[in-house]
Amino acid sequence: MKILLTISLFLVSQILTAQTVASKADVDEYNFFYSDTANGEFAFGDYEPKDITQLNDGSYLIGTELSISFPSQYKTPENYDSIYFAKSKVFQEKSHTSSGTVLKLNSNFEKEWEIKFKGQRIEKILKTSDNRILIVGEDVSMKFVWLAEIENNGNIKWEKHFSYKNQVTIGDAIIDHNDEIYLLIEASHIVPVQVRKYYGKRRIRLFKDSEINSHLALMKISSEGKKKWLKPIDKRSNYEKFGYNLVINQESIFNSFTYSGFEKDSLIEGKRVVEISNSGKKIETKEITEQEIMLFKNGLVTITSYSEGELRLYNSGERIDSINIASADKDVRVENAINKPNGMLIIGSNYDNNMDYLLINLSTDLKFKGYWTYPRDEYNEIRGAVVLDNGDTVIVGKCYREMRGTANELTTYINLIKIKNGA
């Protein structure tokens, strides 16, 4: 398959708006687009980053979701002849609908290789303690989730599939200090009998999908792909649930999820965090309000997931610090947190016409140290970050741009930002 990989590099000034004054530093920017040709037709694809990690040799792996089709691919032909079927075969080979890819870049952000998982979305890239690379994803059919190991040259070593109930998707995935993998999975179930109204008439449907994520569970898998156990977290069939984050400590896994449903015609909704031991025993369930679970340090650390400017930090439910974020649209959102040598880096978005990249520094004693934001002319959405040994920070984001050669004139691409001397 021919892939056109376009890289653009810009040097711009870092824009700092922080409680702690910091000196300006340069920012390197790299943009990656996906395009291909089939039967003489050119098209850009949607190239959406999902995760990023750095390997020991200084190279990077980016997990992506790829979709691409061609201008005449779905046009009704005049004749269903051998020419049509030959062209259809080429279109099928080169088109993608939510396929997963893993893209490897060297330390200079030059492409080395890319592998594809046809029809299988990628959600997470995990590294074991002995530097093996594991990929977590879900199939577009939603009949199974999967775990694969890939080698440093891009070969797929093995792949394992796991199912639960009916249609299954992944909320989050994490690996612990023993190289055990935990998947937070959402699933629908089969309803034996459904009565629905269609155009004023009742219809009976037998053994159909529940059409909502009615089940939530935690699955434990070894780094060799062996399923160890699966523990239901919430089995209320009349509630819909969406998994959010996983946080681990030495003994437990914390799972956060939202739920909504009706009780006696009243809407009941909220957010919970469930603690489960690494042996699969449910320990405790708590309600959390408008918060994201971030890390564990002498207690579960949470942060307000959305605010109009002030973000608040909690440890075991006790407020320990806060920070005010200047936001033109009064819309600040937190996504995740990553480790760095001198604390944590909280990643998020600051709405200012677009979703500006937002990085917030957190000290080892859980105190806010200031923040960095990066506005761009084009729409951007942060998807991950890594902190390098030299102090630089690399952000990966999902961005949009108007491009010719696309069906809707709007193309999704991968944006990489390297912040020299960190944020």
At 345, the amino acid letter reads L
Give the pLDDT score at 235: 82
Distances from the Cα of 252 to the Cα of 103, 178, 247, 283, 284, angstroms: 33, 13, 8, 9, 11
Q: Using one digit for the tens of pLDDT, what is the confidence trace for 103-127?
A: 999 999 999 999 999 999 999 999 9
Structure tokens at 391: 């102090």
Give the pLDDT score at 1: 44
Give the pLDDT score at 182: 98
User: What is the rounded distance in angstroms from the CA atom of residue 396 to the CA atom of residue 268?
Assistant: 36
Q: Please say if the pLDDT value at position 286 is more than 50.
A: yes
User: What is the rounded distance in angstroms from the CA atom of residue 100 to the CA atom of residue 123?
Assistant: 9
151-160, 281-290, 305-314: least confidently modelled range: 305-314
Give the pLDDT score at 351: 83
Q: Please say if the pLDDT value at position 193 is more than 70.
A: no
Give the pLDDT score at 314: 95
- Share of residues in the chain with pLDDT > 70 (%): 87
User: What is the rounded distance in angstroms from the CA atom of residue 165 to the CA atom of residue 123?
Assistant: 20
190-194, 272-276, 392-396, 418-422: least confidently modelled range: 190-194
Per-domain residue ranges of the chain: 1-118+383-423, 139-283, 290-375
Question: Model's pTM, two decimal places?
Answer: 0.88
Give the pLDDT score at 10: 34
Q: Please say if the pLDDT value at position 262 is more than 70.
A: yes
What confidence category does residue 205 fall into, taking pLDDT thresholds of 50, 70 and 90? low
Mean pLDDT of 5-25: 36
Q: Please say if the pLDDT value at position 406 is more than 80.
A: no
Distances from the Cα of 45 to the Cα of 67, 99, 300, 382, angstroms: 6, 11, 41, 19
Give the mean pLDDT of the chain.
87
145-159, 161-175, 380-394, 408-422: least confidently modelled range: 408-422
Phi/psi-derived region of residue 125, left when phi > 0, alpha when psi is between -120 and 50, beta in every other case:
beta
User: What is the rounded distance in angstroms from the CA atom of residue 320 to the CA atom of residue 342?
Assistant: 19
- Burial group, residue 286, by CB count within 10 angstroms (0-12, 13-18, 19+): middle
Q: Please say if the pLDDT value at position 12 is more than 90.
A: no
Give the pLDDT score at 105: 97
Distances from the Cα of 48 to the Cα of 52, 125, 208, 244, 397, angstroms: 12, 15, 32, 19, 8
Mean pLDDT of 151-163: 96
| Longest distance between any two alpha carbons in the chain, whole Å | 71
Give the pLDDT score at 69: 92
Q: Please say if the pLDDT value at position 17 is more than 80.
A: no
Give the pLDDT score at 237: 81
Overall size of the chain counted in residues: 423
Q: Of 148-162, 298-312, 325-339, 344-358, give the range with the top mean pLDDT.
A: 148-162
